[in-house]
């Protein structure tokens, strides 16, 4: 099987830790180019991937003809023009989240990709977290029955990673992931209620923490919260249904291992499992039961995208789904600013 060739635009934390290692680990995928400019960044790419060519711009990489797909993982305010440039060159595109400033902008990019006959996907890789995969299995196997509500908490003690100002904020960062997870699990959203905790930074007022309540078409409701400035590290799910409940608290094992210098290609069979001490617990009439971790595999995203390129099928997280997530984020911001619940149009 001929591999699908991937180029990555940007080599910050996203490019270095959450894209290139997983392209390299994904079956049927090959990393064939990286765009980087700063001398220190270029040196980092060459140290990590000595056999991969480095380009000074997306235009230069396009002209070299080395890739079928480009992943755009540059700062949020730069992504739109790069996505459009790649689409205009006839390349398939993976855009980091948030892939547009709002839902309207996302729909514009989706339409451009459709008109060009290329695939545009959003990198909602946290669908492939170990804890999310385990929760999905518990719910889809009917182990807690009809789902009433799900609580999702993601606190990170990482103030240095908070993107400041009007194009940043925690809602568009962690909020993109945890809203997508709940929509992937529970389906479309009909109403949003949100509260922000704001900080004044030199770049402008920034949302640093949030709580969001989502009402889903299914009748379930989800309650989401996140922070980066409160000296907390916590990742927790609580799911309640008419037959029981499921609770998990995890350490985000893939990110921990990547930052520790490990790569999924080194030991694919053992990659991405939460340690037994962090397994979730199912609570039913039969009593509590520990639930073994499912495997977390961000490289599954890339394998699925490569399959979509070969077959003309849908990517693992479509631009349409990404636009729906952004519509919820837009509604959350409106709710936080007005103090009212916001109803989404079908």
- Tell me, what's the pLDDT at 251? 87
Q: Give the angle 144-149-155 at the CA atoms, nearest 5°.
A: 110
Residues 110 and 58 in one domain: yes
Residues 91 and 140 in one domain: no
Return the structure tokens found at 235.
Answer: 């990742």
Question: Three-class SS of residue 215?
Answer: strand
Residue 331 counted as domain residue: no
Q: Are 225 and 237 in contact (CB under 8 A)?
A: no
Residues 116 and 143 in one domain: no
Residue 98 counted as domain residue: yes
Residues 66 and 149 in one domain: no
**How far, in Å, CA of 28 to CA of 3, rounded?**
5
**How far, in Å, CA of 12 to CA of 161, rounded?**
12
**How far, in Å, CA of 309 to CA of 312, rounded?**
5
Residues 270 and 168 in one domain: yes
Residues 9 and 137 in one domain: no
Q: Give the angle 100-106-108 at the CA atoms, nearest 5°.
A: 120
Closest CA to 193 of 225, 218, 169: 225
CATH number, domain of 117, equals 3.40.50.720
- Tell me, what's the pLDDT at 108? 97
CA distances from 89 to 25, 35, 302 (A): 27, 16, 21
Q: Which domain holds residue 39?
A: 4-123+301-312
Overall domain count for the chain:
2
Residues 114 and 141 in one domain: no
Per-residue pLDDT of the chain (346 residues; tens, 9 = 90+): 799 999 999 999 999 999 999 999 999 999 999 999 999 999 999 999 999 999 999 999 999 999 999 999 998 889 999 999 999 999 999 999 988 989 999 999 999 999 999 999 999 999 999 999 999 999 999 999 999 999 999 999 999 999 898 888 999 999 999 999 999 999 999 999 999 999 999 999 999 999 999 999 999 999 999 999 999 999 999 999 999 999 999 989 999 999 999 999 999 999 999 999 999 999 999 999 999 999 999 999 999 999 999 999 999 999 999 999 999 999 999 999 999 999 998 6
- Kind plus residue range of the DSSP H or E element containing 13: helix 13-13
**How far, in Å, CA of 271 to CA of 24, rounded?**
14
Q: Is the dihedral of CA 167, 170, 176, 177 positive or negative?
A: positive
Contacts of 203 (CB under 8 A, 6+ apart): 164, 165, 168
**How far, in Å, CA of 306 to CA of 173, rounded?**
25
**How far, in Å, CA of 201 to CA of 190, rounded?**
33
- Tell me, what's the pLDDT at 1? 79
Burial (CB count within 10 angstroms: exposed 0-12, middle 13-18, buried 19+), residue 128? buried
Residues 102 and 165 in one domain: no
- Tell me, what's the pLDDT at 188? 98
Residue 341 counted as domain residue: no
Return the structure tokens found at 52.
Answer: 């991969």
Sheet-wide strand order for 4-9? 54-55, 29-35, 4-9, 69-72, 92-95, 120-122
- Tell me, what's the pLDDT at 168? 87
CATH number, domain of 250, equals 3.30.360.10
pTM of the model as a whole: 0.96
- Tell me, what's the pLDDT at 346? 66
Residue 187 counted as domain residue: yes
β-strands 244-250, 234-241: how paired?
antiparallel
- Tell me, what's the pLDDT at 290? 98
Residues 179 and 107 in one domain: no
């Amino acid at each position: 099987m001929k591999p699908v060739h991937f180029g990555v635009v940007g080599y910050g934390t996203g490019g270095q830790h959450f894209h290139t290692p997983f392209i390299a680990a994904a079956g049927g995928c090959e990393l064939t180019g990286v765009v980087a400019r700063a001398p220190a960044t270029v040196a980092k790419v060459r140290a990590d991937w000595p056999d991969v060519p480095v380009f000074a711009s997306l235009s230069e990489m396009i002209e070299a003809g080395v890739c079928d797909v480009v992943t755009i993982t540059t700062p949020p305010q730069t992504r739109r023009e790069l996505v459009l440039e790649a689409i205009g060159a006839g390349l398939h595109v993976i855009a980091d989240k948030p892939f547009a400033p709002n839902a309207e902008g996302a729909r514009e990019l989706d339409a451009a990709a459709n008109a060009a006959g290329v695939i545009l996907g959003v990198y909602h890789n946290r669908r492939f977290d170990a804890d999310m995969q385990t929760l999905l299995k518990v719910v889809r196997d009917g182990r807690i029955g009809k789902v009433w509500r799900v609580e999702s908490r993601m606190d990170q003690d990482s103030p240095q990673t908070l993107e400041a100002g009007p194009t940043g904020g925690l809602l568009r960062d962690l909020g993109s992931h945890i809203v997508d997870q709940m929509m992937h699990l529970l389906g479309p959203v009909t109403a949003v209620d949100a509260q922000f905790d704001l900080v004044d930074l030199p770049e402008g007022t920034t949302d640093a923490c949030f709580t969001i309540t989502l009402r889903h078409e299914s009748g379930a409701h989800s309650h989401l919260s996140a922070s980066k400035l409160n000296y907390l590290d916590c990742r927790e799910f609580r799911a309640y249904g008419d037959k029981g409940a499921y609770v998990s608290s995890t350490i985000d094992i893939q990110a921990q291992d990547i930052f520790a210098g490990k790569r999924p290609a080194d030991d694919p069979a053992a990659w991405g499992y939460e340690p037994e001490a962090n397994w979730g617990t199912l609570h039913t009439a039969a009593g509590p039961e520990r639930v073994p971790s499912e495997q977390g595999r961000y490289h599954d995203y890339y394998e699925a995208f490569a399959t979509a390129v070969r077959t003309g099928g849908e990517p693992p997280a479509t631009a349409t789904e990404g636009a729906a997530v952004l519509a919820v984020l837009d509604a959350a911001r409106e709710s936080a600013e007005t103090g009212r619940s916001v109803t989404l149009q079908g």
